[in-house]
Amino acid sequence: MRALVTGGAGFLGSHLCERLLKDGDEVICLDNYFSGRRANVLHLRDYDNFELMRHDIVEPILLEVDRIYHLACPASPVHYQYNPVKTIKTSVMGTINMLGLAKRVRARILLTSTSEVYGDPEVHPQTEDYWGHVNPIGERSCYDEGKRVAECLMMNYHRQNKVDVRIVRIFNTYGPRMAINDGRVVSNFCVAALKGEPLEIYGDGQQTRSFAYVDDIIDAIVRMMRVEGLTGPVNIGNPDEFTVEELARLTVEITGSSSQIVRRPARADDPVRRKPDITLARKHLGWEPKVALRDGLGRSVGYFRKELGLTPV
């Protein structure tokens, strides 16, 4: 297969490029390096069938490919709120460009949507048939509503133009190759604990998230692309739910840090609870996560230690 991975130099994209190359695909990694970096994929340049391209998906592009894994979009609130207008352009114009390409070259296209389409959910755990509770004018809406439009575009190109589409809704994912300054909670907590700095909890720390290890999520994405006759959306995530405070305590324990845990003001529209119902993924993809948080955090801490130039323990 000739595969295009948009956002391929990012956290998830770099793991996906690696997996596809190992499986024997030809891979074009396309990125504008806004929140990704060449260092994430430099180790892949030894593969003959790997190509790295700088391109912004807000501009159209024509490539001969069979599969499009469409990941390009900043995913950390810090990054997607830095230039919110650009974020929404990436989700809307970028997805139109990728769908136009898929239509023209008859490629199958997969969108990495997000649990954020459920907003601050009133249904718990979240099932795919829940329409969500999103503030359309809030600070998170450039991302949430952008992804909701991207899903809408996917389904309309499918119905109107018979494009072969796949949608996965990914829940909070963590692991090696998250940037030190990524700004999401797992990287923030690991980096702070390793540096002996305070772990900052936004709000009361009782909000929950369900954290999935990157390898599990990549496996689900690959399965979703390969399965026949399923557009989705399908939730992929780890249903083990933790409060942010529990995550902070676990990170301090695993790193053996003497860092304090401190409180900071809550972020606007921060979802209170989040946990995926993965019945559909279990049934149609034969998939469920294998890596527990304690395990995955341990592996991630090893990576952050190296990134920070600390000696391994």
Distance CA 114, CA 221 (A): 13
Distance CA 295, CA 180 (A): 20
CA distances from 175 to 66, 245, 294 (A): 29, 19, 12
Rounded least distance, CB 151 to ligand NAD, Å: 12
Rounded least distance, CB 112 to ligand NAD, Å: 4
- Compare residues 141 and 259 and give the one whose CB is closer to ligand NAD: 141
- Which stretches does DSSP call E strand in the chain? 2-6, 26-31, 50-54, 67-70, 108-114, 165-170, 173-174, 199-202, 208-210, 212-213, 234-236, 241-243, 261-264
Place of tokens 């136009």: 100
Distance CA 289, CA 159 (A): 31
Which of the residues 69, 80, 118, 143 is marked catalytic?
143
Partner in contact with 173, chosen from ligand NAD, ligand UDP, none, beta carbon below 5 to 8 Å by kind: ligand NAD
- Compare residues 187 and 255 and give the one whose CB is closer to ligand NAD: 187
Rounded least distance, CB 183 to ligand UDP, Å: 6
Rounded least distance, CB 289 to ligand UDP, Å: 17
Partner in contact with 188, chosen from ligand NAD, ligand UDP, none, beta carbon below 5 to 8 Å by kind: ligand UDP
Partner in contact with 101, chosen from ligand UDP, ligand NAD, none, beta carbon below 5 to 8 Å by kind: none
- Enumerate binding residues for ligand NAD (CB under 6 A): 7, 9-13, 31-36, 56-58, 71-75, 79, 90, 94, 112, 114, 170, 172-173
Partner in contact with 300, chosen from ligand NAD, ligand UDP, none, beta carbon below 5 to 8 Å by kind: none
Distance CA 175, CA 246 (A): 18
Q: Is 174 a catalytic residue?
A: no
Residue 125: cis peptide before it, omega within 30 degrees of 0:
yes
Distance CA 174, CA 177 (A): 9
- Enumerate binding residues for ligand UDP (CB under 6 A): 77, 172, 184-185, 188, 200-202, 207, 209, 244, 267, 270
Partner in contact with 97, chosen from ligand NAD, ligand UDP, none, beta carbon below 5 to 8 Å by kind: none
- Compare residues 8 and 77 and give the one whose CB is closer to ligand UDP: 77
Rounded least distance, CB 70 to ligand NAD, Å: 8
- Compare residues 38 and 249 and give the one whose CB is closer to ligand UDP: 249
- Identify how many contiguous H helices and E strands the chain contains and give both numbers: 9, 13
Distance CA 270, CA 205 (A): 11
Distance CA 209, CA 36 (A): 24
**Residues belonging to the active site:** 143
